[in-house]
Amino acid sequence: MPEIIKTNLTNGNGVQKQRSTSFNEEENKISYESLQETSKYLTDRVKFTPKIGIICGSGMGGYWKAGSLADALEDKIEFPYEDIPHFPRSTVEGHVGKLVFGHLSGVPIVCMQGRFHYYEGYPLWKCAMPVRVMKLIGVDYLIATNAAGGLNPTYNIGDIMLVKDHINLMGFAGNNPLQGPNDDRFGIRFPPMNQAYDRQLMKDALQVAKDMGISDIVHEGVYTCLGGPNFETVAELKMLKMLGVDAVGMSTVHEVITARHCQMTVFTFSLITNCCVTDYDTYELPNHEEVMDVGKMRQGILKDFVKTVVLNISKKYVK
């Protein structure tokens, strides 16, 4: 039996939260059958089947407030993560910790208000396990959003970067959510990743941006995820820039890998919440408060953008 330890955690505001972690998380990997239990718990309580799942990035999960995306959700059914069997807990400020089912512009969706990060102490497979739960519920299209630092010098704070590709740096170091025995019921042992981000959904989203008159703030770029929780050094950022990275964050890549493993179609965007500092004479310090403030500032645009992308997917692709 793995040893269970109690960990005291802070949520970024100095608030203590307590979480139980298994000493050997890998041995404790959640089985297909356990995830079926999770999915059954949810489908027993929700009378519609969402085909589209959304993951809200830092500061973007404030979708529950007036004028927000969650505000636009109808027939909402909310599940705090602590009530869902086998689900991890959110410990980060700006990640509410609820799975919300509802209708967006009449389209049934499920939305994660709060995701799980490696730096919270969860292994990558656990950070990404809600994606598999979504798949078992019936979700075929994943919209993953995140907050990220802009490395591309043409990006400004508040811009939106449609993710056209990623560099799995943690994977380079041998850390991958698909590590361990493969369960063929989810997907194949060696999934390809060259079509990770659906080209057609990106083209459609660019058209949505054009129709909204926001093309000037929307880009296509390459995202990478680092383990965090610290932001990057100048030397690290210079290296990432040389590698061709346009925006850097602490999430999403493992979710996308897990989603593609189980044949979900993926659309992802980053909200650029800060411009990465790549010289030693700039004294600005990136911080989580700014990340959340920019999420709040862009809440209205993101709501309209996501609503239209969802409607488009539903009309054009969902069977």
Ligand X SMILES: O=P(O)(O)O[C@@H]1C[C@H](O)[C@@H](CO)O1
Ligand Y SMILES: Nc1nc2[nH]cnc2c(=O)[nH]1
The conformational region for residue 270 under phi > 0 = left, psi -120 to 50 = alpha, else beta, is beta
Please say if 58 is a catalytic residue: yes
Instruction: Say which residue the tokens 């799975």 belong to.
Output: 99
Half-sphere exposure of 308 (CA within 13 A, CB side): 15
For the bound state, the minimum distance from the C-beta of residue 146 to ligand Y, rounded and expressed in Å, comes to 7
Report which DSSP code applies to 283.
-
Cα separation, 281 vs 250, in Å, equals 25
232 marked among binding-site residues: yes
115, interface contact from ligand X, ligand Y, none, CB < 5-8 Å by kind: ligand X
Binding test (CB under 6 A) with ligand Y, winner from 100, 112, 131, 291: 291
Percentages helix, strand, coil for the chain, rounded to the nearest 5?
35, 25, 40
By CB under 6 A, is residue 248 in contact with ligand Y?
yes
Give the three-class secondary structure for 110: strand
Cα separation, 144 vs 103, in Å, equals 18
Please say if 120 is a catalytic residue: yes
Residue closer to ligand X by CB (options 107, 275) is 275
Please say if 95 is a catalytic residue: yes
Please say if 250 is a catalytic residue: yes
251, interface contact from ligand X, ligand Y, none, CB < 5-8 Å by kind: ligand X
- Please, which residues have CB within 8 angstroms of residue 6's CB and are 6 or more apart in sequence? 18, 19, 20
By CB under 6 A, is residue 144 in contact with ligand Y?
no
Residue closer to ligand Y by CB (options 204, 232) is 232
Cα separation, 131 vs 258, in Å, equals 7
144 marked among binding-site residues: no
- Please, which residues have CB within 8 angstroms of residue 286's CB and are 6 or more apart in sequence? 149, 231, 274, 276, 277
In angstroms, how far is CA 104 from the centroid of its own chain?
19
Please say if 166 is a catalytic residue: no
Residue closer to ligand X by CB (options 10, 31) is 10
23 marked among binding-site residues: no
Please say if 68 is a catalytic residue: no
117, interface contact from ligand X, ligand Y, none, CB < 5-8 Å by kind: ligand X
39, interface contact from ligand Y, ligand X, none, CB < 5-8 Å by kind: none
Question: What are the residues binding ligand X (CB under 6 A)?
Answer: 57-58, 92, 115, 117, 146-147, 228, 249-251, 288, 291
Token pair in block for residue 195 = 């079509």
For the bound state, the minimum distance from the C-beta of residue 97 to ligand Y, rounded and expressed in Å, comes to 19
Partnered with residue 100 across adjacent β-strands are: 78, 111
Burial state string for 15-49 with b = 16 or more CB within 10 A and e = fewer than 16:
eeeebebbeeeeeebbeeeebeebbebbeeebeee
By CB under 6 A, is residue 274 in contact with ligand Y?
yes
Catalytic residue among 120, 155, 196, 259: 120
Backbone angles phi, psi at 145, to 5 degrees: -115, 155
For the bound state, the minimum distance from the C-beta of residue 97 to ligand X, rounded and expressed in Å, comes to 12
For the bound state, the minimum distance from the C-beta of residue 257 to ligand X, rounded and expressed in Å, comes to 15
For the bound state, the minimum distance from the C-beta of residue 147 to ligand Y, rounded and expressed in Å, comes to 4
Residue closer to ligand Y by CB (options 64, 231) is 231
By CB under 6 A, is residue 302 in contact with ligand Y?
no
267 marked among binding-site residues: no
Interface residues with ligand Y (CB under 6 A) are 147-149, 226, 228, 231-232, 248-250, 273-274, 276, 286, 291
Q: Which residues are catalytic?
A: 58, 95, 117, 119-120, 147, 250-251, 274, 288
Q: Annotated binding site for phosphate, which residues? A: 58, 95, 115-117, 147, 251
